[in-house]
Amino acid sequence: MKTIKLLVISVLLLGSTAAMAEGGAERSQEFWKQFKLSQEKTHGDKGQPVAENDQVKK
């Protein structure tokens, strides 16, 4: 009886984790895409040249 219970519990756990993990890769990729866009919006594009200081050092 103990072996059957362990087997049933294992199957249920594996099935539930597989169901929760479905689409995880797509959600992760979408998150990073949105994160990069928000960072570019906040900090500017990395390819953009940095502004120079107008004051001349004496």
In a structure prediction context, what are the per-residue pLDDT tens digits for the chain, which is 58 residues long?
689 899 998 888 877 766 666 677 788 888 889 998 888 888 776 666 666 666 655 5
Provide the pLDDT for residue 28.
Answer: 82
Predicted structure pTM score: 0.42
pLDDT at 17: 67
The full DSSP string for 1-58 is -HHHHHHHHHHHHHHHHHHHHTTHHHHHHHHHHHHHHHHHHHH--TTSPPPPP-SPP-
